[in-house]
Amino acid sequence: MKMSLKRKLVSAFLAAGLASGSGKAARADRSAEIAPGPEDAVVRVETIGEISGVGIYSLTDVSAGYSEEVSLVKEIADLSCAVSEDLSVVAEGQLIPGLGIIPRAGASYFGEIDSGMGSLAVYALGTIGLTNPDLELVTQADYALPLTEDLSLEAGLDTVTTVGLDGFHYGEQIFRLGMDISGISVGGRYDLVEVDGEVIETARGYLGADF
């Protein structure tokens, strides 16, 4: 399911550990984002880290309607192990209301390009459901253009596509445009979700921070 590009750091941590030959260091980072829309607000909390050469990632998404109770959307937990500087094998568990716990396995890729025109980071994760065979492909592209030491423009695209033996199941695209001010991200995003033959479009703002 969907995730933030901050997940790219899992691959970065593992690549660093693989290159150095040291798997004893432990490191963790967290991020939180709130994205209010016309009818609800989505809150996302992520934790990523690396212990003894194993990358750890967790995500919790909560949706809160302005006139309804808070409801849990989904939880995701990953374990990753690097096989090269840009490739990792991944074991994933998803907890989704109505579907229960869904175990998945696959591989991820992370690449980054830095130039005088900014930096571009790309992350891709492909997994297969172990109990209900399907293919899920998650991709992320994140561009940042520094303007000053504490200010940069940012743009991003996150996608999720799930396909089963019976065809298309789920699609999600999130387009972001904003800025990072001393570690605080603020801007607007456009969400496009395709499920059960229906297309849902939502314009949101977002405010996020690492801690």
CB 46 within 8 A of CB 29: no
CATH number at residue 88: 2.40.160.40
Q: How do residues 41-66 score in pLDDT, each as one tens digit?
A: 999 999 988 888 888 889 998 988 88
* 16 SS3 class: helix
Q: How does pLDDT run across 82-110, given as a tens digit for each residue?
A: 999 889 999 999 998 777 899 999 999 99
Would you state the pLDDT for residue 72? Answer: 63
Q: Model-level pTM?
A: 0.84
Helices (H), the chain: 8-20
Q: What is the mean pLDDT of residues 62-80?
A: 83
3-state secondary structure 77-106: EEEEEECCCCEEEEEEEEEECCCEEEEEEE
Residue 23 has pLDDT above 50, yes or no: no
Segment 176-204 shows an average pLDDT of 95
pLDDT value of position 67: 80
Q: Decide if 46 contacts 57 (C-beta within 8 A).
A: yes
pLDDT for 159 beyond 90 = yes
pLDDT of 208 reads 94
Name the residue range of residue 50's domain: 5-210
Distance CA 199, CA 192 (A): 7
**Considering its fold, how many domains does the chain have in total?**
1
Q: Tokens for 59?
A: 């995500």
Residue range 100-158, pLDDT digits in tens: 899 999 999 999 999 888 999 999 999 999 998 999 999 999 999 999 999 999 999 99
Positive or negative torsion for Cα 92, 96, 99, 100:
positive
Chain mean pLDDT for the chain: 86
